[in-house]
A and B are shown apart, each in its own frame.
Chain A
Amino acid sequence: MSHSDTLEALAAAGIAAPVKPLLSVEGLTRVYGKRIGCADVSFDLWPGEVLAIVGESGSGKTTLLNCISSRLTPTCGTVHYRMRDGATADIYKMAEAERRYLMRTDWGFVHQNPIDGLRMTVSAGANVGERLMAVGNRHYGNIRNTAIEWLSRVEIDEDRVDDQPRTFSGGMRQRLQIARNLVTEPRLVFMDEPTGGLDVSVQARLLDLLRGLVSDLGLAVIVVTHDLAVARLLSDRMIVMKEGRVIEAGLTDRVLDDPRAPYTQLLVSSILQV
């Protein structure tokens, strides 16, 4: 279905469709010497949509995510983002100051390993408050109250606000990292294996929490995962990658229930049935 068809269908259903996608990726390619990281990836992401990028290890998922989130300069291709003022900008043509400002206000990045995304030597409150201070908030009481409010939203006790994240369990660290990213109310969040390394019951609670937050805040999310169950629970749409290329894309339920590419069929049938 082309975009115009989608829009017409939405309009017919009486839903006011956004005029432009939030994020538009075109022909994104990153090569490492002779090796391909990811090649010729194109897709659009709409406000409030959750997109999963799945594939096996080494298929270029993380390279793609880093290229989209401006953490890694692509070899060629463009990434356009619709800013809060409605103007669309090529994130690689922006001034660096503007791009970094975007990254810490309108975007979030949840790392697989919380140590990469947190400051382990400052308190949980300061971790959550860092973005607020970066955008000019200079009132200690307000920053601390906002931090406490966000800790409770991610189910961390208020009395842990002055504790350092190194005293937290893996699941708590990951929830803290999510709070730290969401405090500026971003519109787009990137997640790299957010549930990796957690045991299944903690994974389930974290997924529950994420689903709640995503629908409450109307977040658009790009989530990279090799776990198809995570993709099924969280995402509306998914992209399947193999050897750096997109081999299949579509609605999550469609891809998982009726995989077309042989590799996707293999991937889906590899899920351990218990």
Chain B
Amino acid sequence: MNALAQDEGSQNLATYNFAYLDEQTKRMIRRAILKGIAVPGYQVPFASREMPMPYGWGTGGVQVTAAIIGPDDVLKVIDQGADDTTNAVSIRAFFAKTAGVATTTATPDATIIQTRHRIPETPLTQGQVLVYQVPIPEPLRFLEPRETETRKMHALEEYGLMHVKLYEDIARNGHIATTYAYPVKVEGRYVMDPSPTPKFDNPKMHQSEALQLFGAGREKRIYAIPPHTEVVSLDFEDHPFEIQHFDQPCAMCGAVEVYLDEVVLDDKGGRMFVCSDTHHCESRQADGHRGALLGESPGAGDDAGAEKEAIR
């Protein structure tokens, strides 16, 4: 790996190590990842480095990816499900440049998928690694501001407070109104923040075949869910956990039971719902699935497609 990195490095990137981070730092991050895998859901502190991007843009996820990526890996990066947004494109280009790895937008082809706030619709398989970018890793943070106290609460399994938040949701809205960053309990022990993914994706974390790693760069925490781990969303007996449901299929590919984004089309109240997972949507369209806005008329499809491109 190093030999390869140096070969390439001598040509165009003389100052970078393979995948940007130095080997000592990668070792340190790998140790944190191993500890995280050994204690599912536990937030492992690590010495987060400055990365060539601002905090909040995925510095944690990038460091985790840099620590686990090898020359044979194929990388996919998504931002809220999309492969073609600024953040996703930049991070993919970053690793293409600093590690020389192959990149892809196809979920099944990727060995490492770095994600901001979505889990792909295509089920992940054994051997794949999903790397989450996490802004605030502590699920209890907004209820208990003291870090010393939240760590003690995790240590002693005092999670009553998490239900106070859900209680308050029901008292105010009549139902659990938390729609993203919905707290989960991992392997019956640690309560964990699944990063701000929509709660639609929570069931996908349960007994996943892929390894899930979470990196929070600013907060300097790494945590993990190993494959085939129990992940349960918290709820009340009389208000069970539910995912979002959409009353119409994707306007582009006609998919149902997927997470949809609302896209405003004009200033007259026109709007459409499309898959947030762009690869899923595009591969369905390639397979001949047609949504309402693609319809029979090719012109209608082109318009909607252009609209979508402009908005993304």
Within 8 Å of chain B (Cβ to Cβ): is A259? no
Indicate with 1 or 0, residue by residue over A109-149, a CB within 8 angstroms of chain B CB atoms: 00000000001001101100111011100111101100000
Residues of B within 8 A of A130 (CB): 160-161, 164
Asked whether, in the complex, the Cβ of A125 is within 8 Å of the Cβ of B156, the reply is no
Query: How far, in Å, is B237 (CB) from chain A's closest CB?
Result: 5
Residues of B within 8 A of A144 (CB): 167, 171
Q: Which residue of A lies closest to B163 (CB)?
A: A133
Residues of A within 8 A of B237 (CB): 138-140
- A126 touching B161 in the complex, CB below 8 Å, given contacts A138-B237, A139-B237: no
Within 8 Å of chain A (Cβ to Cβ): is B50? no
Asked whether, in the complex, the Cβ of A134 is within 8 Å of the Cβ of B170, the reply is no
Within 8 Å of chain B (Cβ to Cβ): is A199? no
- A97 touching B168 in the complex, CB below 8 Å, given contacts A139-B237, A140-B239: no
Residues of A within 8 A of B238 (CB): 139-141
Residues of B within 8 A of A134 (CB): 158, 160-161
Please measure, in the bound complex, the distance between the C-alpha atom of A97 and the C-alpha atom of B156, giving whole angstroms: 6
Residues of A within 8 A of B164 (CB): 119, 122, 126, 129-130, 133
Which residue among B152, B156, B157, B171 has the maximum number of chain A CB atoms within 10 Å of its CB? Answer: B171
Q: Which residue of B lies closest to A127 (CB)?
A: B164
Residues of B within 8 A of A131 (CB): 160
Asked whether, in the complex, the Cβ of B158 is within 8 Å of the Cβ of A162, the reply is no
Q: Which residue of A lies closest to B156 (CB)?
A: A97
Q: Which residue of B lies closest to A122 (CB)?
A: B168
Query: How far, in Å, is A96 (CB) from chain B's closest CB?
Result: 7
Please measure, in the bound complex, the distance between the C-alpha atom of A144 and the C-alpha atom of B238, giving whole angstroms: 12
Within 8 Å of chain B (Cβ to Cβ): is A205? no
Indicate with 1 or 0, residue by residue over B157-198, a CB within 8 angstroms of chain A CB atoms: 110110111011011100000000000000000000000000
Query: How far, in Å, is A37 (CB) from chain B's closest CB?
Result: 23
Residues of A within 8 A of B152 (CB): 96
Q: What is the size, in residues, of chain B's interface with A at 8 Å between Cβ atoms? A: 19
Asked whether, in the complex, the Cβ of A123 is within 8 Å of the Cβ of B171, the reply is yes
Within 8 Å of chain B (Cβ to Cβ): is A254? no
Q: Which B residues, 137 to 156, have Cβ-Cβ distances below 8 Å to chain A?
A: 152, 156
Residues of A within 8 A of B172 (CB): 123, 162
Please measure, in the bound complex, the distance between the C-alpha atom of A129 and the C-alpha atom of B170, giving whole angstroms: 13
Within 8 Å of chain A (Cβ to Cβ): is B55? no
Within 8 Å of chain B (Cβ to Cβ): is A211? no
Residues of B within 8 A of A143 (CB): 167
Please measure, in the bound complex, the distance between the C-alpha atom of A144 and the C-alpha atom of B164, giving whole angstroms: 11
Query: How far, in Å, is A172 (CB) from chain B's closest CB?
Result: 18
- A133 touching B158 in the complex, CB below 8 Å, given contacts A139-B238, A140-B239, A141-B238: no
Asked whether, in the complex, the Cβ of B158 is within 8 Å of the Cβ of A140, the reply is no
Asked whether, in the complex, the Cβ of B171 is within 8 Å of the Cβ of A125, the reply is yes
Asked whether, in the complex, the Cβ of A100 is within 8 Å of the Cβ of B236, the reply is no
Which residue among A133, A135, A143, A161 has the maximum number of chain B CB atoms within 10 Å of its CB? Answer: A133
Asked whether, in the complex, the Cβ of B160 is within 8 Å of the Cβ of A126, the reply is no
Residues of B within 8 A of A162 (CB): 171-172
Q: Which B residues, 222 to 243, have Cβ-Cβ distances below 8 Å to chain A?
A: 235-239
Please measure, in the bound complex, the distance between the C-alpha atom of A138 and the C-alpha atom of B164, giving whole angstroms: 10
Asked whether, in the complex, the Cβ of B160 is within 8 Å of the Cβ of A140, the reply is no
Asked whether, in the complex, the Cβ of B160 is within 8 Å of the Cβ of A133, the reply is yes
Asked whether, in the complex, the Cβ of B167 is within 8 Å of the Cβ of A125, the reply is yes
Asked whether, in the complex, the Cβ of A135 is within 8 Å of the Cβ of B160, the reply is yes
22 pairs, CB–CB < 8 Å, chain A vs chain B: A97-B157, A100-B158, A119-B164, A122-B165, A122-B167, A122-B168, A123-B171, A123-B172, A126-B167, A126-B168, A129-B164, A130-B164, A133-B160, A133-B161, A133-B163, A133-B164, A133-B167, A138-B163, A140-B237, A140-B239, A161-B171, A162-B172
Excluding A126-B171, A133-B164, 12 further A-B contacts by CB distance (< 8 Å) are A96-B156, A119-B164, A122-B167, A125-B171, A126-B168, A129-B167, A130-B164, A138-B163, A138-B236, A141-B238, A144-B167, A144-B171
